[in-house]
Structure 1
């Protein structure tokens, strides 16, 4: 939302009227509805504060169980075949073939893809493309198939745009997801998120349309904030239905009405073909829960604040300060016998996860004089609502009155949710650390702009380790990682794949983390993936170049020289993926896995 043109455009917004806004076709589709709850509906599921006793929902359990039975055995075998074909001169240990071939317990793999605006969405897409067994180049590189073998896929902020659109688009291939095809309209990156034409007058009408699209939500009595404007802008790009040709067509809903919970009805979800998708958000709490707030490595949200997840079945937090969930389908319900539907719009969930506007509202700063001041002013004039915080996403609190001794928002009727990386954890490890999910291997995609030139430097790993060590060690386990950025840089841990947690104590349930960072250009290429998070428009050829370079990041391993990928990388990656299953079998590492783990593992 940092487009210069947009600041001029918003000067037109104040003349906008609610009466006109209610006519937009998308407005009714975006507005939630209130009705009687179906018989037997429960709006609160307590999972408790004891991590070892927490359970996933019955719906999630059913999905994962069916996926492990019906999909993953063949997916792991296909991945193993790709590794073997790409490594004809590498003898794989017998245990690797057993674990990945279906003769022993297969790994539970989770993929985490970071925030960072368009850069993160595109880099994440490029790396997922390298893991996609439908891509023959990926299969030939020996990495294709891991996406199909993953149990979970988590994203936040820019990563939520990727995860959300991939799930809502019915799990298309990455080229179709990004550029369109096979029933998917694509991301429309060539159009600026908020100023799609560059013509001030035309784009002013477009922005008025965004206000129009949230008007009926307001008229029906639900709070609207900057996150709703942001959601509708994102919907024109990251929810299936909009093309460059129809972006101004007011007869279309442009993704309004597509809900996160309705992903469960899609064919690819019904057949358990998708990794289970999860999107994260942070919160601005209003009450100190009794412990000292610790400043995060980066961002403005304290590390101890609850982290909320949105999966297609539930929204809530595993953190012991809450330990409760509500059905995603009924998000926004007043927590009694009346149920709200339609609050969980895909675009709104993506907008929540990418709502970083509290950065503009720091102590001593007049927010009306900042880059988002015109938006805030427009909201105040068009949709007045006293005492509503407009720089966050407003969600009626389904956990009102829960855990009054420890839950910081127990007395608040509205949750103020913000960008999932605002506590410094810009890569979404947390939902994959939940003990009830049993994830033993995490493939982490870090496309965060930690450095001044927009490269990742490991800050999200550090923040997650700090959060676990300082606050939630009884709830989550995480391997040791370097405690400072200088170590990541000095040891080149972000310019090559790195494995963390290779030799943790046998009693530990900390996952092994396969870390692939956007830390530098691969194989001596000129860098193209270190774009600014603030960039909101990408030419299609720039996107393709970024996808190609991200593919190389995921398939090169540790290059043997400036132009040669590691020929053993497919085997080394497989060794890491299967290592926790190997340990469970009580088998020692052997063969190529021994040398691979020595080269790729980091130890303190």
Structure 2
């Protein structure tokens, strides 16, 4: 048991008085550095007036523009070729829009993958696999190539593990992403090491290895602590996630204390990844929630609840900056210099990629100090940090980021006077789907593929998180555009909307058209696999999940209720992809697109 090793650790070994320090190189790599700010440094970019229009950063806009001109024309034509090979005739306008050399007419597509730990990461990977043009089965199904034609991808919690891992590993095939490439010693990437746990201090059956593992993960954050920065159990979580989702770790060296295990990998390092530099991968965004200490309790100790009000700020991280388009803030800080709070002393090395993923997946329902949780994993992690690295008055179950936005906001920014931002799991406000970045009007998203892997009933999604996103968007009318959806998950369940792909927003051209794909239940005739809830995965289980997710993503919604698959699904999806540009051109839906949209659109 973890608790036994923990007591042994605290009773028999004081890492900081005996001079025995494990993972010292990782500790150095994980420690932020301070120095003079560069000339003409600007700490905060105002994102514009929410009422009159917000703007993207110049770097993001440049990336999207370059991807649109250099990559998307060929990607859309390849995708269209795969759709055509399914044999379903398309209206002329679909051929024109998706195969046109006029890049301004090409749709802007985004994929959002929900939280749900390893289960969400696995299911989201399966959906992307069904959209990947490098997957022969996906190409034959007519869905392959859509991933290559996508402009954005976002994740929170387990979804963040997927999207950032995929981006930093140089956009490999999904099977290589999850299981690892055949030559990890060359690529530096070893896969997700799925046979070892992500949210535990005892990933091995070997007690000695677990003892070493606790020493390593704790020692790796001591440099940050010694440099005067507060640390929490989210820093411990970062060490575990780095071993699974970042370059540098394989199953063979997982417990090697001479390996960095992702320490020193910065989120902004994405800009140097070859497929990112060539604009060949979607622009990646990770989402986290702001946690206000009020009304949850005074500074110090841990949070007393697990619910974040929907009005709290939602933060997003990308390769260039971190901040929020929420009207309370509408500001961003440069990613490279996160940890900086003024324009004279600049901090680098705080934006560890593992810490960003951990901030997005610190689900407070687990990580809290209530009596019921103190003997669970989170309580043991809190005890480990609290006893090893005492920090009176520091909240230990949130991600602690120096606040670059002090004195900013429009008066409703609740952290305006806080020295630290407290961030938690992006789904703690009830929105397990990271849709908000793609409701920002400046991104001009035409089609939003929402991958819902929330575990609402029997580890299946029932649409509840999706409805929460609609409720939250309604708090800011005129700022976020959200299509009509059912008012409650009862409608989702009654109409089986989680059991097949469903389109939302078919009649609201001012909003993104949402293609909703949920882990709502197995396909007809199949045994449930994708609702598996475990912290470790065998290769056979992984292959089973990827195969079943492929079927769920490509089955469509057959007109014949007795059929298992819709032979028109690839064409119907292409109709949805082209629909917003069709609307802008003033063309009526025709042919298969007219019947498809009538069948797939929720009304």
Question: What TM-score do you get using the length of structure 1 for normalisation?
Answer: 0.93
Q: Aligned-pair distance for 1:383?
A: 1.2
- Residue of 91, 98, 102 corresponding to 1:93: 91
**Structure 1 stretch 101-110 or stretch 255-264: which is displaced more?**
101-110
Q: Which moved more, 1:593-602 or 1:38-47?
A: 38-47
Report whether the alignment pairs 1:435 with 2:436: no
Partner residue in 2 for 1:412: 418
- Distance change >3 Å, CA 254–CA 371, structure 1 → 2: closer
Distance 2:323 2:225 in 1: 24
Mean alpha-carbon deviation: is it higher for 276-285 or for 403-412? 403-412
How far, CA to CA, are the matches of 2:117 and 2:222 in structure 1? 26
The answer to whether the 8 A contact 1:287-1:409 is kept is no
- Work out the CA distance in 2 between the residues paired with 1:180 and 1:249: 18
Q: Determine the structure 1 residue equivalent to 2:496.
A: 492
Task: Report the counterpart of residue 280 of structure 1 in structure 2.
Answer: 287
1:517 CA drift (Å): 0.5
What residue number does 1:10 align with? Answer: 6
Q: CA deviation at 1:8?
A: 3.5
- Output aligned runs, 1:125-524, within 5 Å: 125-181=125-181, 183=187, 184-193=189-198, 194=200, 195-286=202-293, 300-361=307-368, 365=371, 368-403=374-409, 405-451=411-457, 453-469=458-474, 471-504=475-508, 506=509, 509-524=510-525
Cα distance, 1:577 vs. partner? Answer: 1.0
Q: CA separation of 1:230/1:30 partners in 2, compared to 1, >3 Å: closer, same or farther?
A: same
Query: C-alpha separation between the residues in 2 aligned to 1:95 and 1:563?
Result: 29
Q: Is this contact kept in 1: 2:23–2:257, CA < 8 A? A: no
Distance 1:434 1:149 in 2: 20
Q: Which residue number in structure 2 is paired with residue 291 of structure 1?
A: none
CA distance in 1, matches of 2:196, 2:225: 28
Superposed CA deviations along residues 337-378 of structure 1, whole A, max 9, x for unmatched, are 11111111111111000001354537x647645542222122
Change (3 A) 1:321 1:49: farther
**Aligned 8 A contact 1:142 1:570 in 2:** yes
Root-mean-square deviation (CA), in Å?
Answer: 1.7
Q: Is the 8 A contact 2:307 2:429 kept in 1?
A: yes
2:546 aligns with 547
- Bigger shift: residues 457-466 or 43-52: 43-52
1: CA distance, partners of 2:549 / 2:375: 38
Q: Which residue of 1 aligns with 2:594?
A: 594
**C-alpha distance in structure 2 between counterparts of 1:6 and 1:170, whole Å:** 35
Judge which range, 414-423 or 15-24, deviates more.
15-24
CA distance in 2, matches of 1:365, 1:420: 24
> Displacement of 1:52 after TM fit?
4.1
Q: Any stretches of 5+ residues in structure 2 without a counterpart?
A: 296-304
Q: Counterparts of 1:342 and 1:424 in 2: how far apart (Å)? A: 31
Structure 2 distance, partners of 1:29, 1:549, is 40
TM-score normalised according to structure 2 size: 0.93
CA distance in 2, matches of 1:50, 1:428: 20
d(CA) in 1 for partners of 2:540, 2:39: 52
Aligned partners of 1:442 and 1:514 also within 8 Å? yes
Report the alpha carbon displacement of residue 473 of structure 1 after superposing the two structures with TM: 1.5
In 1, distance between residues paired with 2:221 and 2:541?
Answer: 32
Preserved CA contact (<8 Å) 1:85 1:142:
yes
CA distance in 2, matches of 1:93, 1:299: 49
Q: Which whole-Å CA distance do the structure 2 matches of 1:50 and 1:450 have between them?
A: 33
CA distance in 1, matches of 2:52, 2:537: 45
User: Could you tell me how far apart the structure 1 residues matched to 2:6 and 2:52 are?
Assistant: 50
In structure 2, the residue matched to 1:27 is: 27
- Are the structure 2 counterparts of residues 200 and 563 from structure 1 closer, same or farther at C-alpha, using a change threshold of 3 Å? farther
Q: CA deviation at 1:404?
A: 6.1
Aligned counterpart, 2:72: 72
The answer (yes or no) to whether the contact 1:262–1:312 under 8 Å persists in 2 is yes
Residue 249 and residue 563 in structure 1: after superposition, are their counterparts in 2 closer, same or farther (change >3 A)? farther
* 3-state secondary structure, aligned to 1:154: strand
Can you give the 5+ residue segments of structure 1 that lack an aligned partner in the other structure? 289-297
Query: In structure 1, how many angstroms separate the alpha carbons of the residues matched to 2:576 and 2:431?
Result: 23
Alignment of 1:523-562 (within 5 A): 523-532=524-533, 535-559=534-558, 560=560
How far does residue 200 in structure 1 lie from its aligned partner after superposition? 2.6
Conserved 8 A contact 1:52-1:435? no
Distance in 1 (alpha carbons) for counterparts of 2:126 and 2:109? 19
SS of corresponding position for 1:316 = strand
Give the paired residue count: 580
What's the offset of the Cα at 1:336?
2.6
Query: Contact between 1:360 and 1:370, CA under 8 Å: does it hold in 2?
Result: no
- Secondary structure of 1:595's counterpart equals helix
SS in structure 2 opposite 1:357?
coil
Match status 1:84 vs 2:84:
yes
Q: CA deviation at 1:601?
A: 0.6
Please say if residues 51 and 434 of structure 1, whose CA atoms lie closer than 8 Å, have aligned partners that are also in contact.
no
With 207-216 and 493-502 compared, the bigger mean Cα shift is at: 207-216
Moved more, 589-598 or 193-202: 193-202
